[in-house]
């Protein structure tokens, strides 16, 4: 739509389409200033509809999140759903679930989206109140909706927002729907309904917050009910205090309801008051992501004041979860995403009533291989997927159709899925399961950190050296990976320093040295850079280009008979990769 028009005509088209006075003024000011460079940045390329929908900073222009791009996305998504239903011969009025978080403009964008779907004849299942992201896919499954939309940018900076899409199976969208929806959005020329109030007036709107809330906590209660019985049967252990922060997001009300509904002592939850209420500016943290260095400092300080030894946190839309434990020597240990994934998988397996022969646990290819080792020794069946919960959720559903019972899935970026509740990561569910697990472990005389050490002793020590490098542009990322693939006399490398590469899997070009026909065991994507290597001394690493940020991400994991040796091996491989493959790129934090 925008590739060939002169920038002046693009600006004119924007002003003809945009009815938002604030964003119109932005483009008008750029035209008045004759700022063709900035107009090109904002108007030439449309915001990409990718992994989970749209995400960008909030500015005027086709390249950003704003009222017009939200309406185009909604109208295009509605068109695509209607076309798919026609192809399948599906009758009746389709419905769509719409939710929003506390970010700037989230409610406004959600109301506009609702108006677009109503204008297309959809029924709208409307919360009308702040919700955490997993509530949308839960409602899609619970009500049998055709799709779900959550307006959120998760843990992105304050200037960003996003438009996250779920398909009718309650999972994030995967091919071919993603490309089909993107094409439908690109074909939208005129907005047929521009209204923030239609959602309050239409008879096609059903308010579903109360019903969804009740059903969600019922499902969550069933997930942790067995652990409550186990803990009381062991020593009737009382709940222990902990400190919680929602990082200025929507999590607190859901945590309080979860504690009340699931018979935890809510008086033992100390809240970080400076971060308790939703605040879209996130004033106390540089990045509102529990993974980021320093994000839990406020919570750890509060925990030291109130005497609790556990800190737990959600990100602003509460789909991610992190925890830290104060050790006997006074140090705080923040569990990595891999460590928490191992702990939660172990607990779910211990308390599940599903046979280990039928239980399926999943993890993405950049996450710890410890679950794979446990699967090989019969703890459960294990399945590896591509990165992202769009794959974890959809592949988990596929295993269920194959007569397995998916009981847990995780990714190292502090995301955890409990399929009996929702087909996506859920930070509230993860927090409650962690507290239930902690209660059970305390009944056995063990803290979460000590439980982790026990698991390492049983299954082997797995330590990672994950990081990322700053890439100036997608072109630099592509050139970097191209050079890696031909770094040894025009052929793929055989070693990293002195370590021999025993397996090379390239999911960009579709080549795998470990399979008989050379084809990878996971789907390939020529538009996404990803190489995984296994080395001769038990180290596995993946290098991939980020789909949403100017980064090249490195995931390195080593396995050894001690934690110290595993850490040493992982860090040695990181050093060698930086010297041999990524020289010249800026390492995170430098």
Category of 490 on φ-ψ map: left (φ > 0), alpha (ψ -120 to 50) or beta: left
Q: Residue 455: is its pLDDT beyond 70?
A: yes
**What 3 state SS string does 398-428 have?**
HHHHCCCEEEEEEECCCEEECCCCCCCCCHH
**pLDDT band for position 231 (cuts 50, 70, 90):** very low
What integer pLDDT is reported at residue 225 of this predicted model?
79
What pLDDT is attached to residue 230? 54
Query: CB-based contacts of 464: which residues, under 8 Å, 6+ apart?
Result: 336, 338, 368, 412, 555, 556, 557, 558, 570
- Average pLDDT (212-224) is 95
pLDDT value at position 585? Answer: 78
227 pLDDT more than 70: no
Q: Tens of pLDDT along 234-275?
A: 455 567 999 999 999 999 999 999 999 888 998 999 999 999
Q: Tell me the C-alpha distance between 149 and 6, whole Å.
A: 34
* DSSP letter (8 states) at residue 172: B
Which is the CATH superfamily of the domain at 7-207? Answer: Alpha-D-Glucose-1,6-Bisphosphate, subunit A, domain 3 (3.40.120.10)
Helix (H), strand (E) counts: the chain = 18, 24
3-class SS at 165? strand
**Which of 114, 334, 320 minimizes the C-alpha distance to 205?**
114
- Max alpha carbon distance in the chain (Å)? 74
Q: Catalytic residue, from 67, 74, 141, 154: name it.
A: 154
The pLDDT > 70 percentage for the chain reads 96
Q: What is the pLDDT of residue 306?
A: 96
pLDDT at residue number 583? 85
Angle, CA of 463, 415 and 349, to the nearest 5°: 75
What pLDDT is attached to residue 234? 45
66 backbone dihedrals φ, ψ, rounded to 5°: -165, 180
Q: What is the pLDDT of residue 237?
A: 57
Q: Which CATH number fits domain 463-587: 3.30.50.10, 3.40.50.2300, 3.40.50.10540, 3.30.310.50?
A: 3.30.310.50
Task: Return the pLDDT at 474.
Answer: 86
**How do residues 128-140 score in pLDDT, each as one tens digit?**
999 999 999 999 9
**Token pair 């789907």: residue:** 523
Mean pLDDT on 10-17: 96
Average pLDDT over residues 117-122: 98
Of all residues in the chain, the percent with pLDDT exceeding 90 is 87
Distance CA 42, CA 554 (A): 31
**Tens of pLDDT along 504-559?**
999 999 999 999 999 999 999 898 899 999 999 989 999 999 876 788 999 999 99
Q: 4 pLDDT band (50/70/90 cuts)?
A: confident
pLDDT at 356 over 90: no
Tell me the mean pLDDT in the region 35-61: 92
What are the structural domain ranges in the chain? 7-207, 212-334, 463-587
Question: Has 56 been annotated as catalytic?
Answer: no
pLDDT of residue 1 exceeding 50: no
Tell me whether the CATH fold assigned to 7-207 matches the one assigned to 212-334.
yes
What are the structure tokens assigned to 191, written together? 């907005």
* Lowest mean pLDDT across 27-36, 260-269, 280-289, 446-455: 260-269
Judge whether residue 587 has pLDDT over 80. Answer: no
**Domain 212-334: which topology?**
Alpha-D-Glucose-1,6-Bisphosphate; Chain A, domain 3 (3.40.120)
Across 221-238, average pLDDT: 62
**CB 256 within 8 Å of CB 215:** no
């Amino acid at each position: 739509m925008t590739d060939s028009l002169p920038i002046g005509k693009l600006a004119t088209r924007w002003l003809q389409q945009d009815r938002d006075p604030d964003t119109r003024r932005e483009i008008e000011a750029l035209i008045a200033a004759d700022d063709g460079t900035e107009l090109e940045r904002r108007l030439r390329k449309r915001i990409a509809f990718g992994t989970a929908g749209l995400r960008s900073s909030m500015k005027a222009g086709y390249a950003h999140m704003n009222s017009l791009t939200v309406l185009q996305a909604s109208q295009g998504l509605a068109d695509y759903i209607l076309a798919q239903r026609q192809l399948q011969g599906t009758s009746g009025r389709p419905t769509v679930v719409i939710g929003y978080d506390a970010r700037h403009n989230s409610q406004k964008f959600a109301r506009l989206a609702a108006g677009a779907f109503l204008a297309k004849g959809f029924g709208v299942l409307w919360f009308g109140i702040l919700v955490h992201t997993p509530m949308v896919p839960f409602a899609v499954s619970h009500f049998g909706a055709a799709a779900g939309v959550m307006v959120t940018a998760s843990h992105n900076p304050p200037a960003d927002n996003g438009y996250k899409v779920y398909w009718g199976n309650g999972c994030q969208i995967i091919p071919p729907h993603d490309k089909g929806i993107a094409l439908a959005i690109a074909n939208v020329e005129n907005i047929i309904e521009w209204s923030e109030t239609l959602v309050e007036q239409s008879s096609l709107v059903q308010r579903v917050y109360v019903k969804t809330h009740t059903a969600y906590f019922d499902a969550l209660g069933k997930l942790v009910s067995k652990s409550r019985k186990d803990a009381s049967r062991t020593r009737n252990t009382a709940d222990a205090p902990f400190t919680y922060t929602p990082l200025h997001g929507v999590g607190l009300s859901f945590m309080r309801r979860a504690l009340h509904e699931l018979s935890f002592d809510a008086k033992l939850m100390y809240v970080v008051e400076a971060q308790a209420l939703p605040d879209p500016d996130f004033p106390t943290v540089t990045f509102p992501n529990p993974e980021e260095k320093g994000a839990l400092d406020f919570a750890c300080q509060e925990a030291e004041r109130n005497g609790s030894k556990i800190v737990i946190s959600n990100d602003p839309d509460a789909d991610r979860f992190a925890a830290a434990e104060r050790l006997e020597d006074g140090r705080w240990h923040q569990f990595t995403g891999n460590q928490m994934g191992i702990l939660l998988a172990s607990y779910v397996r211990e308390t599940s009533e599903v046979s280990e022969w039928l239980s399926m646990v999943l993890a993405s290819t950049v996450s710890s291989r410890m679950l794979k080792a446990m699967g090989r020794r019969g703890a459960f069946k294990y399945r590896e997927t591509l990165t992202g919960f769009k794959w974890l959720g959809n592949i988990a559903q596929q295993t269920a159709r194959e007569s397995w019972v998916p009981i847990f899935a995780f990714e190292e970026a502090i995301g955890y899925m409990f399929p009996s509740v929702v087909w996506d990561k859920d930070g509230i569910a993860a927090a409650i399961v962690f507290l239930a697990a902690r209660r059970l472990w305390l009944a056995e005389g063990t803290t979460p950190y000590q439980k982790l050490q026990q698991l390492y002793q049983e299954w082997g020590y797995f330590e990672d050296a994950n990081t990322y490098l700053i890439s100036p542009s997608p072109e630099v990322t592509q050139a970097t990976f191209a050079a890696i693939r031909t770094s040894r006399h025009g052929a793929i490398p055989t070693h990293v320093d002195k370590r021999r590469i025993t397996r090379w899997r390239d999911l960009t070009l579709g080549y795998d040295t470990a399979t008989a026909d050379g084809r990878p065991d996971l789907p390939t994507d020529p538009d996404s850079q990803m190489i995984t290597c296994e080395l001769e001394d038990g180290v596995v690493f993946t290098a991939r280009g980020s789909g949403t940020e100017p980064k090249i991400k490195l995931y390195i994991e080593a396995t050894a008979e001690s934690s110290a040796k595993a850490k040493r091996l992982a860090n040695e491989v990181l050093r060698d990769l930086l010297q041999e493959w990524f020289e010249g790129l800026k390492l995170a934090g430098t």
